[in-house]
Amino acid sequence: MNSIINLAVKQYLSRRMSRIERYMTNPEEAQERWLRRILDRARDTEQGQRWGFADIRTPEQFARMVPAQDYDAIKTDIARMMRGERNVLWPNEVNWYSKSSGTTSDKSKFIPAPYGNIFNCHMAGAWDSVALLYANKPDMQAFRHKHLAVPGSYQHLPEYPKTCFGDVSAILVEHMPTIARLFYTPDTQTSLLSNFEDKLQRIAEITSKQNDICLFGGVPTWLIVLFRMVLEKTGKQNMLEVWPNLQAYMHGGVGFDPYRETFRELIPSGDFAYQEVYNASEGFFGAQCDLDKNDLLLLADNGVFYEFIPASEWGKEHPKTVLLMDVKIGENYSVMISANNGLFRYQLGDTVTFTRRYPFCFQITGRTKQFINAFGEEVMVGDADKALAEACRLMNAAVTEYTAGPVYFSAEKNRGGHEWVVEFEKEPTDLERFNQVLDESLQRINSDYEAKRYKGIALDRLLLNPVPKGTFISWMRARGKFGNQNKVPRLANHRQYVEELIRFASEGKHASI
């Protein structure tokens, strides 16, 4: 029976690929259509009337008439919507909200998720990703075996119980189509448990007794924790001994390069596929379309209209933007979206660099608030991920987590630098040499860092601080950031995270789950 279902799904995905190929070659048509559609849908809302959506005919008019917005500009409107007010940012009453914890703030953001957005953006992006995966691996058997995910949870708003909010992954599990639910593990009651540690224990208990898992997805950090628990319960050496049908991992949320070697040890197979996806609380924006290339296809026909802010415009109150068709290869852009969830000209804070045109493919380089630029070096998260992956490859090491920040000038120190806190899964035999290789790799990748490092004129060699296994998990738990949607902050232009982690390690506050 499952063979028949898998064949039927493959036929559906093949038809879906035809649509994907259309917007790969002609994204302009899809982008203009979605801008018209979402403006028309929201024209009679408070926001639509405020900015004159009914009078907008072109993207150029749209950019002139509607200001750039961030979360602070709309959070009061969203709070009203969550308490039942209708037609504020989006038509009618919106009862679902994805909660984004972020990495640089203790405050949560609540992103409207009307049903059209859930199904025509998030779900559509998931199906497009699977279609691209099957196109790359025609032998995929995902709909003959089980799919594993480690989602977050959701809850009802006490003062208005019709409103639900939580991780976008939990919202998608709650609205999962029947065909996907047939193959999903664990059961939805377990997967939506609110206590994340209890959830991991339950999932480990359930899946350690299964042998037919084929596909899994989620943030690398928490999957590594889960896999260690499963291996401890089963006494197996790697995940293929537990789940022999494993074929693919759809990953996202953080840069995967630092984790790659760890996953290769956990899943020692040359045929296993890794597909990167870009699904945020605000929408599903990208998926790897060629597994041999390290970039993602922009999903141009999934409920989102895109604009891009050049680096020279970051931080400005009224930044100039470029449309998709005008982006330049190799330049850094901050992403601005207008979508079928009531976000219009909304600045995500994510930064990307385009690698190809027609199809438009890109790499995620970081966030506008996650970088180190204390001395003009402009190091982004993507640079750090690549440098660390290269050092691990050359030194036969594997990293679980890391964060980095600046070392400032002082009375005792007349040059600056960077300090890295790194938790190794597999520690290199020569830490001093690893430190040197990491610094050299970062210089090769980032010319601004290389210039500041030249002969040590401005920056000393980066300082590496290895910490015991479990340090980052314990630190995240102590910060109230333990859970699926929470991610370790990679880079910061301050020393708060670096110093907290060093203090945690020195006080022995590291422990595995």
The pLDDT assigned to 382 comes to 84
Give the range among 43-57, 68-82, 140-154 with minimum mean pLDDT: 140-154
Question: Which residues partner with 156 through β-bridges?
Answer: 164
Give the pLDDT confidence of 305-340 residue by residue, as tens digits.
Answer: 999 999 899 888 899 999 999 999 999 999 999 999
The two tokens of residue 448 are: 């601004």
Q: Among 250, 285, 306, where does a domain finish?
A: 306
Pairwise CA distance, residues 171 & 165, whole Å: 8
Pairwise CA distance, residues 290 & 296, whole Å: 8
Q: Which stretch of DSSP H or E encloses residue 201?
A: helix 196-207
Q: Higher model confidence: residue 127 or residue 476?
A: 127
347-367 burial by CB neighbour count: b if 16+ within 10 A, else e?
bbbbbbbbeeeebbbbbbbbb
Pairwise CA distance, residues 55 & 427, whole Å: 61
pLDDT band at 485 (very low <50, low <70, confident <90, very high): low
Pairwise CA distance, residues 304 & 450, whole Å: 38
For residue 233, give its domain range: 1-306
Stretch 445-458: mean pLDDT: 82
Query: Do 299 and 377 have their domain in common?
Result: no
The pLDDT assigned to 103 comes to 40
The pLDDT assigned to 435 comes to 96
The answer to whether residue 324 is domain-embedded is no
Res. 416: pLDDT tops 90: no
The answer to whether residue 259 is domain-embedded is yes
pLDDT band at 104 (very low <50, low <70, confident <90, very high): very low
> Using a CB cutoff of 8 Å and minimum separation of 24, what contacts does 307-311 make?
307/59, 307/63, 307/336, 307/337, 307/338, 307/345, 308/333, 308/334, 308/335, 308/336, 308/352, 309/68, 309/333, 309/334, 309/335, 309/336, 309/347
Question: Which residues partner with 370 through β-bridges?
Answer: 367
The answer to whether residue 337 is domain-embedded is no
The answer to whether residue 481 is domain-embedded is yes
Query: Do 297 and 152 have their domain in common?
Result: yes
Q: How many of the other CB atoms lie within 10 Å of CB of 125?
A: 22
* CB contact at 8 A, 32 and 56: no
The answer to whether residue 28 is domain-embedded is yes
The answer to whether residue 329 is domain-embedded is no
Q: Higher model confidence: residue 164 or residue 196?
A: 164
Give the range among 41-50, 327-336, 448-457, 497-506 with minimum mean pLDDT: 448-457
Pairwise CA distance, residues 21 & 317, whole Å: 37
Query: Do 104 and 226 have their domain in common?
Result: yes
Query: Do 294 and 376 have their domain in common?
Result: no
pLDDT band at 366 (very low <50, low <70, confident <90, very high): confident
CATH number at residue 497: 3.30.300
Report the chain's mean pLDDT, rounded to a whole number: 91
* CB contact at 8 A, 128 and 287: yes
Query: Do 113 and 192 have their domain in common?
Result: yes
The pLDDT assigned to 493 comes to 87
- Could you tell me whether strands 283-287 and 273-280 are parallel, antiparallel, or unpaired per DSSP bridges? antiparallel
Pairwise CA distance, residues 501 & 470, whole Å: 11
Q: Which of 169, 111, 147, 117 lies closest to 5 in space, CA to CA?
A: 147
CATH number at residue 79: 3.40.50
Give the pLDDT confidence of 250-266 residue by residue, as tens digits.
Answer: 998 777 887 888 899 99
Query: Do 298 and 375 have their domain in common?
Result: no
Q: Tokens 């660099």 belong to which residue?
A: 353
- Exposed, middle or buried by CB within 10 Å (0-12, 13-18, 19+), for 78? buried
pLDDT band at 126 (very low <50, low <70, confident <90, very high): very high
Percent pLDDT > 90 in the chain is 69
CA dihedral (336, 349, 361, 128) positive or negative:
negative
Q: Which of 9, 61, 67, 8 lies closest to 36 in space, CA to CA?
A: 61
Query: Do 209 and 108 have their domain in common?
Result: yes
Stretch 108-118: mean pLDDT: 95
Query: Do 141 and 271 have their domain in common?
Result: yes
The answer to whether residue 359 is domain-embedded is no
Query: Do 101 and 182 have their domain in common?
Result: yes
Pairwise CA distance, residues 388 & 125, whole Å: 30
Query: Do 123 and 15 have their domain in common?
Result: yes
CA dihedral 487, 490, 496, 498 (to 10 degrees): 110
Q: Tokens 């992103």 belong to which residue?
A: 111
The pLDDT assigned to 1 comes to 66
- The DSSP annotation for 435-466 comes to HHHHHHHHHHH-HHHHHHHGGGSSBPPPEEEE
pLDDT band at 510 (very low <50, low <70, confident <90, very high): low
pLDDT band at 410 (very low <50, low <70, confident <90, very high): low
> Using a CB cutoff of 8 Å and minimum separation of 24, what contacts does 65-71 make?
66/344, 66/345, 67/318, 67/345, 68/309, 68/317, 68/318, 68/319, 68/321, 68/336, 68/345, 68/347, 69/343, 69/344, 69/345, 69/346, 69/347, 70/346, 70/347, 70/349, 71/109, 71/346
The pLDDT assigned to 102 comes to 47
The answer to whether residue 119 is domain-embedded is yes
- What three-state secondary structure class fits 472? helix
Give the range among 225-239, 382-396, 451-465 with minimum mean pLDDT: 451-465
Return left, alpha or beta for 52; rule: phi > 0 is left, psi -120 to 50 is alpha, else beta.
Answer: left
Query: Do 258 and 406 have their domain in common?
Result: no
Stretch 459-469: mean pLDDT: 92
Phi, psi angle pair for 166, to nearest 5°:
170, -170
Query: Do 256 and 113 have their domain in common?
Result: yes
Return left, alpha or beta for 253; rule: phi > 0 is left, psi -120 to 50 is alpha, else beta.
Answer: left
The pLDDT assigned to 378 comes to 78
Phi, psi angle pair for 260, to nearest 5°:
-55, -45
Res. 105: pLDDT tops 50: no
The two tokens of residue 135 are: 């196109």
pTM score of the predicted model: 0.83
Q: Among 283, 306, 329, where does a domain finish?
A: 306
Phi, psi angle pair for 283, to nearest 5°:
160, 170
Give the range among 1-15, 53-67, 78-92, 479-493 with minimum mean pLDDT: 479-493
Q: Among 277, 306, 335, where does a domain finish?
A: 306
Number of folded domains that form the chain: 2
pLDDT band at 218 (very low <50, low <70, confident <90, very high): confident
